[in-house]
Structure 1
């Protein structure tokens, strides 16, 4: 078996992950010259440059990126095998998730995970964009990726949109509709979607990618065209639109993981239809690691929480 200089591999992984020779030296508790020596030794053995060095800037070459993917996975497997032999059971995990899903749904439930499975040591990485499925990023993911070679994905939530507003704003809407003879009941059981265009619409471009596209899509599902006279306030993220609804500024669209109106006295879910966005949030992990104790516990707990909270059908 012909192997590369093995002591150089963790050095290469650290430099690539930290994007710095000096920070890698600090983490590994060696001198920067020792780090440079190990990288040169590895590059000489491979006959390929692994890094592009331009002044103070450092980046991986194409060959370096490809090599890192394999090396980091191999080092991770060695680490996990050693932990299992030491009796730690491989229950230390990094989980990468969308920031909104993590903040609004996952974090409020993590105390339950700690209570049920205190042996699971979870490090949460919040991502603004869909996290790349790579062990360099995390051990497991909550992602919108449908599938990727070598990874198993399991559905947690099929995203759907519905309108909400503040309780005070809802009372105003009901009073207006009664005055105009559109409803008879104090609290209507169903609203015509066209009626909502009479009021300020709070749009979050993070939902569909473009300002106003969330409301256009939702209204179109009810056969309604967004009128040119509609008053629309644009926000980059759903969290900001939510804040505006709490200040009685209009009607916003949201989804099941962002809010539970049954437990929120300030917000009302309007009696209207729901529209599926086409996005499905999935739990993803390396298929080769499916039998690891920590991943099995985390997977089972996430699926149980998704069913219990109504994200997944029971």
Structure 2
């Protein structure tokens, strides 16, 4: 059933006059004459068969019926105005970025405040998982993955090159000797073992030791847990210098000894079978810019050795 309502012009004239308590001011606000306002309100009163105003010399006052109608009409107009503003305002862009839990926790999260300051109109959702995602299916918009960069069905951009080095807390380093075979060691198990050996076995071979010399110690299933254990002084760990850059910068960790092992690289992946939005392109540009801003503290420490 169609709603039985008076004309919108009459309701607008009534709302303005009731709010301003003046036909003249209502006319100025609506860019019509005072006579037009008076006429529209009179049409509304005839429709309702009730007086809505008490006309006085210099002002008008609402009758009881007029006050009741004003409350409803004013609320209705405010609701309509809010809905129109919501429809007119641009929708916030949303971008989902997939990364491994360790990379998301240690490298990405500390930098997200910078992203939000630079792009307050983009909602960035971080999907932390070791499992690969299908970017062309829309599971995520971007992904950061660790490897040699050979990925099919996606566009690949180099983000960061990585190295691994023995690191420990300064307090622990002050108490242990230079004989690595006597160090308390920390290991972590890769979820998907990389094609290059980045474990204590490989470091032992690089230093002329037997792999069995560096096989004991505490083991963790998560790389981020191994990092935290190293910071707390539980032992020396062979860790990604990309992931512990912040801890090295703050002095929570120090490189215990040379040599370093050449790791693989972090790459930004985006779909190549569907277009990416401007927001996705902005996130990718931000990642590349942040990654390229100066050398890491680890790079500087290694050059000093």
**One fold, TM greater than 0.5?**
yes
- Kept after mapping to 2: 8 A contact 1:90/1:294: no
Q: Once structures 1 and 2 are overlaid, which stretch shifts more, 130-139 or 232-241?
A: 130-139
Deviation at 1:214, TM superposition (A): 0.8
Identify the residue that residue 114 of structure 1 maps to in structure 2. 116
1:276 is matched with 262
Pick from 233, 246, 253 the counterpart of residue 248 of structure 1.
233
- From the superposition, tell whether residues 270 and 290 of structure 1 become closer, same or farther in structure 2 (CA, over 3 Å): farther
> 1:267 is matched with which residue: 253, 256, 261?
253
Q: Which runs of 5+ in 2 are unaligned?
A: 1-87, 300-305
- Which residue matches 1:219? 204
RMSD of the alignment, in Å? 3.0
* 2:125 corresponds to: 123
| 2:154 matches 1:170 | no
Q: Of 188, 206, 230, which aligns to 1:204?
A: 188
Unaligned runs of 5+ in 1: 1-85, 178-194
Please report how far the alpha carbon of residue 159 of structure 1 lies from its aligned counterpart in structure 2 after TM superposition: 2.7
- Partners of 1:197 and 1:226 within 8 A in 2: no
What is the aligned counterpart of 2:103 among 93, 101, 104? 101
In structure 2, what is the Cα distance between the partners aligned to 1:110 and 1:276?
A: 28
| CA offsets 1:19-49 (integer angstroms, 9 cap, x no match) | xxxxxxxxxxxxxxxxxxxxxxxxxxxxxxx
Question: Take 1:231 and 1:102, find their aligned partners in 2: how far apart are those partners?
Answer: 29
CA contact (8 A) 2:141 2:276 kept: no
Q: TM-score, normalised by structure 2?
A: 0.59
SS in 2 for 1:158: strand
Shift of 1:106: 0.8
Contact 1:205–1:214 (CA under 8 A) maintained in structure 2: no
| Partners of 1:98 and 1:130 within 8 A in 2 | no
Cross-structure match for 2:27: none
CA distance in 2, matches of 1:124, 1:252: 27
- The higher radius of gyration belongs to 2
In the superposition, relative to structure 1, how do residues 219 and 104 fare at CA in structure 2: closer, same or farther (>3 Å)? same
Q: Greater CA deviation, 89-98 or 108-117? A: 89-98
Seen in structure 2, the aligned counterparts of structure 1 residues 203 and 122 have a Cα distance that, compared at 3 Å, is same
- Give the number of aligned pairs: 206
1:134–1:224 Cα change, 3 Å = farther
Distance 1:263 1:144, change over 3 A: closer
Distance 1:262 1:303 in 2: 21
Residue of structure 2 in register with 1:294 after alignment: 279
Residues of 2 paired with 1:152 and 1:110: CA distance? 23
Change (3 A) 1:99 1:230: closer
Structure 1 runs (4+) deviating above 4 angstroms are: 86-90, 288-291
Q: Is the CA contact (8 Å cut-off) linking 1:199 and 1:230 kept in structure 2?
A: no
Secondary structure of the residue that 1:218 maps to in structure 2? Answer: helix
